[in-house]
Structure 1
Amino acid sequence: MEKNRKIVGLCGSLRKGSYNAMLLKVAGGLIPKDIQFETVTFDEIPVYNADHDLPEVEERPASVVKFRDALATADAFIIVSPEYNYSIPGGLKNAIDWASRGKDSPLMHKPVAVMGATQGMWGTVRMQTAFLPVFTFLNMNPVLQPEVLVAQAQNKFDAEGNLIDEKTIGIIKKKIENLISACKV
């Protein structure tokens, strides 16, 4: 009997009306119905402080425990994020730092797909590249193809947040298929 599979989504933007939040919602809607999808937020997580994450510390902050527990239920991850200063947004990187620590890291050895949307022309290519050393450290399995780099996002979403660019939808579907194939379940 096959285990119920689950993909957890993380959005690197906390902004209302974020194209990346819209993109994550689209991606979640394209996941087959036999696979559970959940978006997990990190907006209440404090700035990483190793003093609160040492083996001798009884427990991590409650918001961190809740975040890590939610990630631990995943068979795979979708990260959708903008690019800040040619890299990973600080809040998202901070959340990943909290989740990456310890032998009980809920990220270790799991497949991950990264996507991004921007109003500019580069489509978050540098942010996605900046994740590669993080994935290497965590021994994650990044699904690199096809790349989902949504440039000029303002022209690809309608006023209700629906992705209206069929070519982009097709690329996202293929990325999700490849992510599911990378799952060992």
Structure 2
Amino acid sequence: MKIAVISGSHRNGSESGKVARHVQQQLTSSPDVTSTYALDLADNPLPLWDPEAWQPSEKWASVWSPISAELAASDAFVVVAPEWGGMVPAGLKNFFLLCSRGELAHKPALIVAVSASMGGSYPIAELRMSSYKNTYLCYIPDHVIVRNVRGLLNDPAAQSPDDERIRERLRYALGLLLQYGKALQLVRASGAIDLTRYPFGM
């Protein structure tokens, strides 16, 4: 399977980027993963969505089409989302607005929230509430919150009990994601999905 890891912070040198890189490293060690794709919104600032994104457009073809193709070829996703003022960053919400061509449809995703302190629950609720409707993305029931992130995942090996605990939780959640990835391949191959007739959720 091919797994895409989206780092939702558009701040360069972000802790979310660090977490996303750790996740990608864990995924590459799995025999079920043939390749990974990393999308870091800090390195790929996307234009704000406008209606032209739905039409053939030179601007969007150059900016979005390569990313769209990578997402469409992926079987599952990890969405790393920092909590900024109790919300996910605007760039991450914009990313989901651009995913309007079935790139994420009926594929599983794991949310990994990131907090510099003891927060991190609001991005989970926000993404589960508002980012799946038209994308048809299927968030798995498990999620991970990396709290006090500055002290975690900084070295190849765990440096504290909390560091080991979050690494183990990530390993567990990623293992579940891969099993959902296998299962939803069958759903997409079933012929039951009709995105031409029903491109938008209700």
Q: Which amino acid aligns with 1:71?
A: L
Residue 174 of structure 2 is matched in structure 1 by: 176
Residue 96 of structure 2 is matched in structure 1 by: 96
Q: Contact 2:83–2:123 at 8 Å: present in 1 too?
A: yes
How many residue pairs get matched?
173
Q: Distance in 1 between matches of 2:157 and 2:14?
A: 12
Task: Note the C-alpha offset of 1:33.
Answer: 4.2
Greater relative contact order, per chain length (Cα 8 Å cut-off, separation 6+): 1
For structure 1, list consecutive stretches of 5 or more residues without a partner in the other structure.
none
Map 1:1-185; keep pairs closer than 5 Å: 5-31=1-27, 32-35=30-33, 36-42=35-41, 43-50=44-51, 52-55=52-55, 57-58=56-57, 60-99=60-99, 101=100, 104-122=101-119, 124-132=120-128, 133-145=130-142, 147-158=143-154, 164=159, 165-183=163-181, 184-185=184-185
User: Normalized against structure 2, the TM-score is what?
Assistant: 0.77
Q: Contact 2:9–2:17 at 8 Å: present in 1 too?
A: yes
Q: Distance in 1 between matches of 2:20 and 2:53?
A: 30
Q: Distance in 1 between matches of 2:172 and 2:13?
A: 25
For structure 2, list consecutive stretches of 5 or more residues without a partner in the other structure.
186-202
| Deviating more after overlay: 25-34 vs 5-14 | 25-34
RMSD, aligned CA: 2.0
Q: Distance in 2 between matches of 1:142 and 1:25?
A: 20
Structure 1 pair 163/63, CA: closer, same or farther in 2 (3 Å)?
Answer: farther
Instruction: State the Cα deviation string for residues 76-102 of structure 1 (Å, max 9, x = none).
Output: 000112112322210111111111x2x
Determine what percentage of the aligned residue pairs are the same residue.
Answer: 19
User: Normalized against structure 1, the TM-score is what?
Assistant: 0.84
Q: Distance in 2 between matches of 1:64 and 1:173?
A: 31
Partner SS, residue 102 of structure 2: coil
